[in-house]
């Protein structure tokens, strides 16, 4: 019989094994911190929902005129300093899940060994540093906006992996260069049913910090499976060579997936400017897409107005599908239905541009109030970043969104 050790179990074992050391030294072993967001979002589009995550089932628009599910969450983090070199961390977050519940989930759970002040290795559930704000992507208080620009941050919807990673930091005068690498896997549940699995997930990144300047380049690669589309492409395969070719082209079953991102920020204190560019490529219905944003703001005491422009452009949003004219009447109807389902998937790839204007007010210690207005132009043939489209919804068009949040840390 074999046993699978989860990240939580690994940490529990480490705490048990190191408890005596902590008691002998008399130093505190544990520290706790928490964070949260209380938010409301309104969308002008009432025939579809806006959500902040690929894994959320509903949001603002059709399901709720005003939705608290889009951005609201609460999280806590426990850090255990077991020895001068060995530490462990557990972060748990409660937010809307794929099944509409707020059941807490483990975001991070890992053990870290610090070989030197600049070399470390971690094992367990670790963050994927794909973006500039990956380490605090869900801690709204640390970000200037209501949420990171979704056009770019939707490219990689997962934020962690189960495996190992290592980092190596080099200091040259005021310059700090940090190299990172990881290997693992990830699995999340999707509202449409089934899991989204990333196997053989490996990544590399390099971050340079020089005074107020931070720059990062990151690359991720994995074999990805999206179970919710399996039945559709199994049905395509019943239509002989043409259907098999269509399924092989678009099926999302253990398909190679790659991601490349570049980002930089400059923040001297009184103002900031930052931007990121990312691209994904998959030999599946996901296809290729590139996205970027640029954002800047100015701090006027405890108030920070900001503006952001973001854009995402995918490849094909439609496909002729099976040639219905060559099929007998008994198969023409089912083939037409399959073609419709395929094009519904392809049109769900976002193609849009968004201008956001907002402001942050740090009205008390460790608490910020934010307002944000988003104007989005969805390109023809795309649903944009909208889900739950209803009869009467028109591809393309414009939507306006208003968001308000209270972000806090404790």
Ordered structural domains, the chain, with CATH: 7-409 (2.40.160.10)
- What's the rounded Cα separation, in Å, for the pair 248 and 284? 8
- What's the rounded Cα separation, in Å, for the pair 271 and 58? 35
CB atoms inside a 10 Å sphere around CB 318: 14
The model's pTM is 0.90
Place of tokens 């990689």: 156
Euclidean distance between the first and the last CA atom of the chain, given in angstroms as a whole number: 43
Long-range CB pairs of 172-176 (<8 Å, 24+ gap) are 174/210, 174/211, 175/208, 175/209, 175/210, 176/208, 176/209, 176/210
Cβ neighbors of 202 (< 8 A, separation 6 or more) are 181, 182, 183, 184, 220, 221, 222
Annotate 300-367 with DSSP letters as a single string: BTTEEEEEEEEEEEES-S----S-GGGS-HHHHHHHHHHHHHHHHHHHTS--EEEEEEEEEEEEETTE
* Distances in whole angstroms, Cα of residue 240 to Cα of each of 105, 178, 200, 339, 355: 43, 52, 32, 15, 46
pLDDT at 26: 53
- Edge-to-edge order in the sheet of strand 386-387: 60-61, 49-50, 386-387
pLDDT at 157: 87
What backbone torsions phi and psi does residue 374 show, to the nearest 5 degrees?
-120, 130
Q: What is the 3-state secondary structure (H, E, C) of 391-404?
A: CCCCCCEEEEEEEE
**SS3 call for 228:** helix
| Strand-pair partners of 183 | 164, 202
User: Per-residue confidence of the chain (410 residues) as pLDDT tens digits?
Assistant: 333 434 444 344 344 334 444 444 455 799 999 999 999 999 999 999 999 999 999 999 999 999 999 999 999 999 999 999 999 999 999 999 999 999 999 999 999 999 999 999 999 999 998 999 999 999 999 999 999 999 999 999 899 999 999 999 999 999 999 999 999 999 999 998 899 999 999 999 999 999 999 999 999 999 999 999 999 999 999 999 999 999 999 999 999 999 999 999 999 999 999 999 999 999 999 999 999 999 999 999 999 999 999 999 999 999 999 999 999 999 999 999 999 999 999 999 999 999 999 999 999 999 999 999 999 999 999 999 999 999 999 999 999 999 999 999 99
Please state at what angle helix 240-250 crosses helix 329-347, rounded to 10 degrees: 10
């Amino acid at each position: 019989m074999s046993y699978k050790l989860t990240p939580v179990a690994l940490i529990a074992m480490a705490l048990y094994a190191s408890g005596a050391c902590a008691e002998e030294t008399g130093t505190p072993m544990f520290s706790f911190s928490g964070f949260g967001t209380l938010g409301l979002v309104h969308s002008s589009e009432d025939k579809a929902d806006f959500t902040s995550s690929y894994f959320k089932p509903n949001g603002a628009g059709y399901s709720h005129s005003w939705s608290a599910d889009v951005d609201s969450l609460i999280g806590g983090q426990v850090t255990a300093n077991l020895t001068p070199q060995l530490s462990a961390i557990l972060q748990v977050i409660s937010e809307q899940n794929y099944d509409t519940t707020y059941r807490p989930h483990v975001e991070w759970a890992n053990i870290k060994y610090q070989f030197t002040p600049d070399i470390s290795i971690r094992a367990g559930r670790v963050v994927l540093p794909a973006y500039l704000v990956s380490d605090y992507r869900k801690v709204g208080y640390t970000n200037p906006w209501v949420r990171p620009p979704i056009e770019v941050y939707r490219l990689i919807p997962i934020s962690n992996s189960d495996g190992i990673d290592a980092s190596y930091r080099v200091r040259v005068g005021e310059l700090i260069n940090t190299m990172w690498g990881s290997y693992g896997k990830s699995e999340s549940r999707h509202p449409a049913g089934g899991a989204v699995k990333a196997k053989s997930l490996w990544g590399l990144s390099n971050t340079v910090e020089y005074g107020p300047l931070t720059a990062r380049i990151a690359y991720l690669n994995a074999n990805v499976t999206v179970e919710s589309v399996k039945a559709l492409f199994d049905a395509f395969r019943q239509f002989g060579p043409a259907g098999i070719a269509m399924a092989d082209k678009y099926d999302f079953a253990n398909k190679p997936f790659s991601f490349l991102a570049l980002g930089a920020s400059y923040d001297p204190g009184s103002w900031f400017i930052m931007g990121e560019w990312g691209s994904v490529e998959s030999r599946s219905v996901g296809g290729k897409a590139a996205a970027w944003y640029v954002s800047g703001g100015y701090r006027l005491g405890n108030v920070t107005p900001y503006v952001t422009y973001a854009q995402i452009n995918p490849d094909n949003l439609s496909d002729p599908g099976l040639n219905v004219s060559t099929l007998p009447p008994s198969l023409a109807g089912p083939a037409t239905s399959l073609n419709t389902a395929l094009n519904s998937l392809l049109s769900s790839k976002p193609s849009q541009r968004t201008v956001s204007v907002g402001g942050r007010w740090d009205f008390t210690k460790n608490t910020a109030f934010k307002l944000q207005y988003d104007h989005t132009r969805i390109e023809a043939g795309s649903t944009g970043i909208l889900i739950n489209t209803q009869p009467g919804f028109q591809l393309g068009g414009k939507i306006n969104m208003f968001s308000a949040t209270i972000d806090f840390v404790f």
